[in-house]
Structure 1
Amino acid sequence: MSYDAKVFNVMVASPGDVLAERALFREVIHEWNAVNSEVRKVVLMPVGWETHSSPEMGAGPQEIINQQVLHSCDLLVGIFWTRAGTPTTEYASGTIEEIEKHIAAGRLAMLYFSTTPAVLDDVDNEQYQTLRDFKASCRSRGLFESFDSLAEFRNKFSRQLQQKLNAHEMFKLTQTESSSNQPVSDFMRLTVPSLTHEAKVLLKEVSQDPHGRLTYVRYIGGAAMQSNAKSFLDSKERREVAKWENALQLLQEEELIVERGHKGEFFEITAKGYEVADTIIS
Structure 2
Amino acid sequence: MAYTATVIPVMIASPSDVAEERNVIRELIHEWNDINSARSKVMLTPIRWETHTSPELGIRPQDLINQRLLVDCDLLIGVFWTRIGSPTGSEASGTVEEINRHLDAGKPAMIYFSSKPVAPESLDREQYESLKLFKTECMQKGMIESFNDLADFKDKVRRQLAISISSSPYLSSLISSTQNDPDLSASQSIPENNLSDDAVNLLKLACVNEDGSILVLKHLGGTDIQAGNQSFGGRSAREVARWEGALDELISFGLVIGRGSKGQIYDVTHKGWTLFESLKD
The separation in 2 between residues aligned to 1:174 and 1:71, in whole angstroms, is 15
Instruction: Tell me: CA distance 1:15–1:175, structure 2 relative to 1, closer, same or farther (3 Å).
Output: closer
Secondary structure of the 1:44 match is strand
Structure of higher RCO (CA pairs closer than 8 Å, 6+ residues apart): 2
Are residue 145 (structure 1) and residue 145 (structure 2) matched?
yes
TM-score of the superposition, structure 2-length normalised?
A: 0.62
Alpha carbons of structure 1 residues 41 and 51: separation in structure 2 relative to 1, 3 Å: same
Gap change, CA 1:174 and 1:84, over 3 Å in 2? closer
1:47-196 → structure 2 map (5 Å cutoff): 47-173=47-173, 176=176
What is the aligned residue count? Answer: 185
Residue 110 of structure 2 aligns to which amino acid in structure 1? M
Q: Deviations over 1:91-145 (max 9, x none)?
A: 1111111111111111111100000010111110000000001001112112210
How many Å apart are 1:175 and its aligned residue?
5.8
Cα pair 2:108 2:170 within 8 Å, conserved? no
Distance of aligned partners of 1:109 and 1:118 in 2 relative to their CA distance in 1, 3 Å threshold: same
Q: Taking structure 1 as reference, are residues 44 and 120 closer, same or farther at Cα in structure 2, changes over 3 Å only?
A: same
Q: Which amino acid aligns with 1:104?
A: D
Q: How does 1:240-259 map to 2 (within 5 A)?
A: none
SS at match of 1:59: coil
Letter in 2 for 1:14: S
**Higher Rg of the two aligned structures:** 1
Compute the displacement of 1:174 (Å): 5.6
**Cα distance change, pair 66–178 in 1 and its aligned pair in 2 (3 A):** closer
Q: 1:156 to 1:58 in 2, by over 3 A?
A: same
Q: What SS is found at the alignment partner of 1:140?
A: helix
Deviation, structure 1 residue 65 = 1.1
How far off is 1:170 after superposition?
3.0
Residue 14 of structure 1 is matched in structure 2 by 14
Equivalence for 2:188: none
Aligned counterparts of 1:172 and 1:87: Cα–Cα separation in 2: 34
Change (3 A) 1:157 1:169: same
Q: Which letter does structure 1 place at the counterpart of 2:76?
A: L
Q: What secondary structure sits across from 1:92 in the alignment?
A: coil
What is the TM-score with the length of structure 1 in the denominator? 0.62
Query: Structure 1: where are the runs of 5+ without partners?
Result: 182-257, 261-282
Q: Is the 8 A contact 2:78 2:111 kept in 1?
A: yes
The DSSP-based 3-state class of the residue aligned with 2:44 is strand
Deviations 1:212-258 (A, max 9, x none): xxxxxxxxxxxxxxxxxxxxxxxxxxxxxxxxxxxxxxxxxxxxxx9
| Matching residue of 1:26 | 26
**Pairwise CA RMSD of aligned residues?**
2.2
- Gap change, CA 1:7 and 1:129, over 3 Å in 2: same
Gaps of 5+ in 2: 182-259, 263-281
Q: CA deviation at 1:169?
A: 1.9
